[in-house]
Amino acid sequence: MHISEGVLSPPVLAAGWTLAAGGLAIGLKKTPVEKLPETALVSAVLFLASLVHVPIGPSSIHLTLLGLAGIMLGWSAIPALFIALFLQGLLFQFGGILSLGVNMVSMGAAAIVGYYVFHAIPAKAKALGAFAGAFTAVLTGTVIVVTALFLSANDLKAAAALLFAANLPLAAVEGVISVFIVTFLSKMIPSYVS
């Protein structure tokens, strides 16, 4: 869900940076010092998960683990995402520095939606909550990226539609992965998914 440099219009970039700054401020305020090691660990996992790309037409997809990050960290996922996305843009040109704001909004909102969906489902159905949270997170991020592309240029509509279609199976895969990880963590380290 990384949008590259030079794709988005200046108003979309400005809106992205404004929303990202607000989300980052909230995320930093809601991240207690005790949660920093967990936040750093999730940031590293997010960074690594995106290094494996599967080409799909003019774009590619990769695991995002946004729903899982949201389930584990809540609003602390925003600072974790910022670090991972900044380093990916700086070191590998995944996304970019100018488009970092919009990328933060799409992925940050996705993680937060995943968190709230997970917690809206009763605790005795953690597996269902994990699947629904991860699935909804991927769809949320995809809708935001598609919207940003639609608002930036008419010639990006075909690519946006392809991106949305490609991310539907990804949402299901991430849902299944999240079920396994949340089930495991619930037994081994329950505080990570409470």
pLDDT for the residue numbered 123: 86
pLDDT of 124-140, one tens digit each?
Answer: 899 999 999 999 999 99
Instruction: Sort residue 131 into left (φ over 0), alpha (ψ -120 to 50) or beta.
Output: alpha
Bridge partners of residue 60, in order along the sequence: 55
Ranges of the chain with pLDDT below 50: none
List the CATH code of the domain at 10-193.
1.10.1760.20
pLDDT for the residue numbered 51: 78
pLDDT for the residue numbered 96: 79
Rounded CA separation 43/142 (Å): 20
Would you say 141 and 64 are in contact if contact means Cβ atoms under 8 Å apart? Answer: yes
pTM: 0.89
pLDDT for the residue numbered 156: 67
Q: Give the contacts of 133 (CB within 8 A, at least 6 positions apart).
A: 67, 68, 70, 71, 113, 114, 115, 117, 118, 121, 178
pLDDT for the residue numbered 37: 92
pLDDT of 148-165, one tens digit each?
Answer: 888 887 676 777 777 777
Written as six digits, the tokens of 104 are 């933060």
Rounded CA separation 54/34 (Å): 36
